Amino acid sequence: MHSTHLLLEEPIRMASVLEPSKPSFFPAMTKIVGTLGPRSRSVEIISACLKAGMSVARFDFSWGGVDYHQETLEYLKLAIKSTKKLCAVMLDTVGPELQVANKSENAISLEENAFVVLTPDQGQEASSKLLPINFTGLAKAVKPGDTIFIGQYLFTGSETTSVWLEVSELNGDDVICMIKNTATLTGSLFTLHASQIHIDLPTLSDADKDVISKWGVRNKIDFLSLSYTRHAEDVRQAREFLSNLGDLKQTQIFAKVENIEGLTHFDEILQEADGIILSRGNLGIDLPPEKVFLFQKAALYKCNMAGKPAVITRVVDSMTDNLRPTRAEATDVANAVLDGSDAILLGAETLRGLYPVETISTVGKICAEAEKVFNQDLYFKKTVKYVGEPMSHLESIASSAVRAAIKVKASVIIVFTSSGRTARLIAKYRPTMPVLSVVIPRLKTNQLRWSFTGAFEARQSLIVRGLFPMLADPRHPAESTSATNESVLKVALDHGKESGVIKSHDRVVVCQKVGDASVVKIIELED
């Protein structure tokens, strides 16, 4: 399988472009985060999304209440049961998002060169002359000449569904703007984005805290997507809030970087967060268009070197209404993979799009093709150089396991882990083969009851490129005699055979702890 891996630096044979793509058990190494909503909340559709390759389900709380999302989550649980495919849960906060409410839901037509007033008086009806917003401090934050964008599900780049405004004058709390393009706004809620302006609102709002303590705790969420992260302190405060909620101590925080402020403090944010979501919708407004690709490449490189998952958003907007992506979008997905992203996040495409399942399937196929030409050799050398010497014990084991697997053309790497850390480190070196992460549950007690850890660790690897978790039987401790390790290994190998990743005569690299030592061994399978 791996001898066919081409590198982009090599002359690619046209024949390989004309060959049909081969389906495999793992649709792609790159993970897909799907947002569940009106068009993707039946058990049937969610099951199809899981089969198509979705491994994380995102619940966006900028619309829809706790009961609505709870119902969707119950459907997700049924779908997981019927498909036997693991799926993690991500709660996306609203954060300091500015919104325009359109209670009547009538379409609002805005004409180029006309004027519109943005007012904090939410009792007013939205019209082409006046738009009520949910923030009283806008007039204090902006000045004449500043840019404001308003649209539903922010700016798909189609300038007929979102409007570009220029602040003309300020009148008390009202902001009078000149309209720069003719557009029609439809729906009940539009997002407002003031370009490169500091909005004085907390990153974790009271409404967010309420949703996390009710819905998040009840459902033991795996990931918290922290919208509009602007400083490392935002992540620290969110972590403190989660750790006081008992069950959410293990929830990972993904900082969503979506404006200039977050960009300025990117390095400190990356240090604090468990992962990064590059929200290209909003960033594309705060940054000049010609700088977006540069930010993407620089940010992904930093995430890769830090060994933290990076998620890219807004890749196939046009698939919200169409069955095929545009050529530029297809290339964009592939470039996200080649730049080193761990996962692709689909928003409107699966939330309210007409083709949620086809979108996931198409994105997965493009990712799989891009992975075949990902220059692992160059990436490996870069990562080893960045880590430097002396390497830590774990880092050295992880890089050795990947190097050995590539040299012997192993079909899979199997790693035994209880915290998931070793598996993530192996994935950091981007092996060309899947990494089966066998999570061994640990027994712990809080004086009142005994519980097993492991489920969180298994699900949290579902956002890391190339990692495929399986939970071992809790009766097999992680650091034990070779006999129990052998039996867990047999279960893992059988799982690999069933799923078609391992065949007879294949080589498999195994990474495990034996006593105090970590061992990397190569197994050649017989018939």
Q: Mind listing the pLDDT tens digit of every residue in the chain (527 residues)?
A: 444 555 555 556 666 677 777 666 667 999 999 999 999 999 999 999 999 999 999 999 988 889 999 999 999 999 999 999 999 999 999 999 898 988 888 889 999 999 999 999 888 898 999 999 989 999 999 999 999 999 865 544 556 778 889 999 999 999 999 999 888 888 787 889 888 888 889 999 999 999 999 999 999 999 999 999 999 999 999 999 999 987 788 999 999 999 999 999 999 999 999 999 999 888 888 888 888 899 999 999 999 999 999 999 999 999 999 999 999 999 999 999 999 999 999 998 999 899 999 999 999 999 999 999 898 999 999 999 999 889 888 899 999 999 999 999 999 999 988 888 889 999 999 999 999 998 877 776 666 666 566 788 889 999 999 999 987 766 555 444 455 567 788 888 888 888 778 888 889 999 987 777 788 888 888 86
pTM (predicted TM-score): 0.91
Helices 43-52 and 356-372 pack at an angle, to 10 degrees, of: 10
| pLDDT at res. 162 | 83
Residues 267 and 367 in one domain: yes
d(CA 217, CA 247) in angstroms, rounded, equals 6
- Position 518 in a domain: yes
SS3 call for 465: coil
Q: What is the DSSP string of 31-93?
A: EEEEE-STTS-SHHHHHHHHHHTEEEEEEETTSS-HHHHHHHHHHHHHHHHHHT---EEEEEP
Q: Are residues 91 and 135 in the same domain?
A: no
In this prediction, residue 2 carries a pLDDT of 46
Q: 187 and 219: one domain?
A: no
8 located within any domain: no
pLDDT of residue 187: 79
Q: Are residues 162 and 224 in the same domain?
A: no
Domain count, the chain: 3
* Structural contact between residues 57 and 87, judged by C-beta atoms closer than 8 angstroms: yes
Considering the domain boundaries, does residue 5 fall inside one? Answer: no
**Domain end among 179, 195, 211:** 195
- 14 inside domain: no
Single-letter code of the amino acid located at 26:
F
pLDDT of 448 reads: 62
126 shares its domain with 274 = no
Q: Is residue 354 part of a domain?
A: yes
Are 456 and 468 in a shared domain?
Answer: yes
Q: Which of 373, 388, 407 is the last residue of a domain?
A: 373
| Residue 79 · residue 43 · CB < 8 Å | yes
For residue 485, the model assigns a pLDDT of 63
Picking from 373, 402, 418, the residue at the C-terminal end of a domain is: 373
**Nearest CA to 299 among 312, 288, 282, 315?**
312
Do 213 and 340 lie in a common domain? Answer: yes
Verify that 146 and 73 share a domain, yes or no. Answer: no
Q: Is residue 16 part of a domain?
A: no
The pLDDT assigned to 229 comes to: 96
Same domain membership, residue 220 and residue 74: yes
Contact between 485 and 514 under an 8 Å Cβ cutoff? The reply is: yes
Rounded Cα gap, residues 130 and 100, in angstroms: 10
Q: Which residues of 225-259 are buried (b: 16+ CB within 10 A; e: fewer)?
A: bbbbbbbbebbeebbebbeeeeebeebbbbbbbbb
Residue 143 lies in a domain: yes
> How would DSSP label each residue in 85-116?
---EEEEEP--S-EEEE-TT---EEE-TT-EE
Domain residues for the domain of 363 are 24-96+202-373
Q: 221 and 155 in one domain?
A: no
Looking at the fold, whether 214 and 70 belong to one and the same domain comes out as: yes
Same domain for 116 and 172: yes
